[in-house]
Structure formats: structure tokens, C-alpha cells
Amino acid sequence: MDPLSNVLSLLKPKNHLSAGFEAGGEWAVQFPHQGQGIKCGTLIFGECWLKVNDIGEPVLLKAGDSFLLPSGRPFLLASGLDVVPTEAAAIFANKGKRGVVTFNGGGEISLISSRFGLEGEHASILLKMLPPIILIRDEAASEALRWSVERMMDELRDPQPGGFLIVQHLAHMILLQGLRLHVAEEVAAPTSQVGWLFALADRQIGAAIGAIHADPAHRWTLQTLATEAGMSRSTFALRFREKVGETPMDYLTRWRMLLAADRLIHSGDSISVISASLGYESESAFSTAFRKTMGCSPRQYGRGERPNEAASRHVVEERLAS
């Protein structure tokens, strides 16, 4: 499985809401904090402003533009930034989990959006690797989204038997296509942004990350990963840290521990089985690495005696900064 699929599979994104929205005249809608998850949307026709709380300047969306909001922050959609906003709850109340909502008569803009919840106390550790706003503005590139968007709008307007599952699958396709297109844009116009998603755009570093995800139990060393990347050991170590924000061995350990945490919750496997499957020769070595990364022992984690999200995130961030 490729790294992007790996990460999203671990997060187990669940589509909690998909809806169409149409508005006309002067309008503004304020959306609340989205919780631990990802909001995605596509503007089908018209223009509107997108403003995410505490994140830079407002963005004018045009027909065909798509956006992903992994930060969970409250955000505003509006015809104009001087319009007094209406709370989203008042507009979408009693509309159920599916359908097309019309505001101010509609007719001037149309968009669809989906909200994904993410499973696991450590989802934020992975989410922080994504930028707070991902915009897909290349019309040719966004053509890949068009089919999914149009099919979803058809399902929302005219529900048919089995439509719930179709909307769920289409929403997942839109999320994945949006992230894939974001990586493609990074390949076309590389930036200085740091994180695993951006690193996938680098052919050599992406190859090393892919090797880690393909076989996390392998006895990887800095040299063998450099060989996977087709680079010298020193050059690889420097570029990996520049692109990903941590050393190759730190990335390997953290990914192993996230996989282990998921299995401690969702499988009946013993700690010894999990540790061996992830390349550790002894349970004690695995437990030491797990405690250092996750902030508690594997047994505590499996019993639900886990540090709260903020504390566990602090442990990981301290480790990455060291």
C-alpha cells in the first residue's frame, strides 16, 4: 500500500456529512469548529469567499475550485466579506445528513461539501503534517474531481436505493483525489513547505518513504534507505530532514508506533506479536520505543490508560525537536 493510502487507512476517515449548498443575493455562512477531521468542498458554479479563522487572508473561490481544510478551524463562506454571517446550524437544521440546502433563493453559487471524522487519539499527530488549507485551483487538474462531484450532486438531489453508500464512497474519492492533486501540484511547482505529504512529491525521498510503508518491519538503516532513494547517505539524511521535518529513523520509529497503537486498539494481538511484526527483536526494546513516542506503555495504551491528546502530542513534538 502506498504511503498516502497507509496514512488515511490508519486515520479511518468516516464521512459524517455530505451536502449540497446553493445561495443567492448577499449571503454569508459561519461554520463552527469542525472537530478532529477534514472538511472538503468543491464550488460547482459561481464565486464566493472562503475565510478560515486565524489562517492568512480570505480566498476567492471560483467555479471548479476545490478546498480541503484539515485544521478543523471554524470557517466562513460568503458572497462578500462585509455581509453579516448566519450560523450554519440555523441553515442546515433538520436537513438530515444528505440533501441540497438552498439559502436566499439560490441560483448564484452551488457547491458540495463533505466532513470526515478521523479515528484515534493520535490523528492530530498525522493531521499536523498537512497544511491548514489545501486549494486545488488548476482547472485541468481538477477535472479529475469533476466526475465524483457531479455524481454526488446527482445523488443528493435525487436519492436512490443504495444512495447512502454511493455518497460515502464518492466522498472518499473526492478526499483522496484532492490530496493526490495537491501532491501533483507540488511536483509541478515545488515549494519549501515541510511534511510527509510534500515529501511524496520528491521522487527520491518519496521512494524511501514508500519503502518504509511497504515494509515497516524491515531492518532499515540510514544506508539502506539512502540506497532506496538512490542517494549518498549524507545527502539523503540532509534532504530527508529538510523535506519531512525529522530524521529518516525518527520517521520510521514514529510510523511503527502509530501502526502498533492502531493494532493495540483494534486487534487481539499480544504485545510480543505486535513488536515482532514491526521488526523488534525484544518486547522490552519495543516497549521503550513505544513509551518514548506515545507517552505511555503499550499495555497502558491497550487498556485505554492513555495520556490525553494534548499531552501525547507534546511528547511526540518534544521528541521530534530533540
Query: CB neighbours of 250 closer than 8 A, spacing ≥ 6?
Result: 319, 320
Residues 109 and 247 in one domain: no
Among 138, 161, 188, the domain boundary falls at 188
CB 14 within 8 A of CB 49: no
CATH classification at residue 125: 2.60.120.280
Residues 112 and 255 in one domain: no
- How far is Cα 121 from Cα 132, in angstroms, rounded to an integer? 19
pLDDT at 58: 92
Please give the angle made by the CA atoms of 75, 154 and 37, to the nearest 5 degrees.
30
Q: Domains in the chain: how many in total?
A: 2
Query: CB neighbours of 165 closer than 8 A, spacing ≥ 6?
Result: none
- How far is Cα 225 from Cα 18, in angstroms, rounded to an integer? 41
pLDDT at 181: 75
Alpha helices in 128-201 (DSSP H): 139-157, 163-188, 196-199
Residues 96 and 36 in one domain: yes
How does pLDDT run across 82-120, given as a tens digit for each residue?
Answer: 999 999 988 887 554 458 889 999 999 999 888 887 766
Q: Where are the beta strands (DSSP E) in the chain?
A: 14-23, 28-31, 37-45, 47-52, 59-62, 66-69, 75-78, 86-87, 100-103, 109-117, 134-136
Tens of pLDDT along the chain (322 residues) come to 677 788 777 777 777 777 889 999 999 999 988 777 788 888 989 999 999 988 878 999 999 888 888 877 899 999 999 999 999 988 887 554 458 889 999 999 999 888 887 766 567 666 766 777 888 876 655 566 677 777 777 877 787 888 878 877 877 887 777 777 777 766 666 666 677 777 888 889 999 999 999 999 999 999 999 999 999 999 999 999 998 889 999 999 999 999 999 899 888 899 999 999 999 999 999 999 999 988 899 999 888 876 654 444 444 444 433 3
- How far is Cα 116 from Cα 114, in angstroms, rounded to an integer? 7
Among 188, 206, 232, the domain boundary falls at 188
Count CB atoms within 10 A of the CB of residue 65. 22
pLDDT at 304: 81
pLDDT at 194: 72
Half-sphere exposure of 197 (CA within 13 A, CB side): 23
- Domain span at residue 88 reads 3-188
- How far is Cα 148 from Cα 116, in angstroms, rounded to an integer? 16
Helix axes 3-11, 203-214, angle to 10 degrees: 50
Residues 125 and 203 in one domain: no
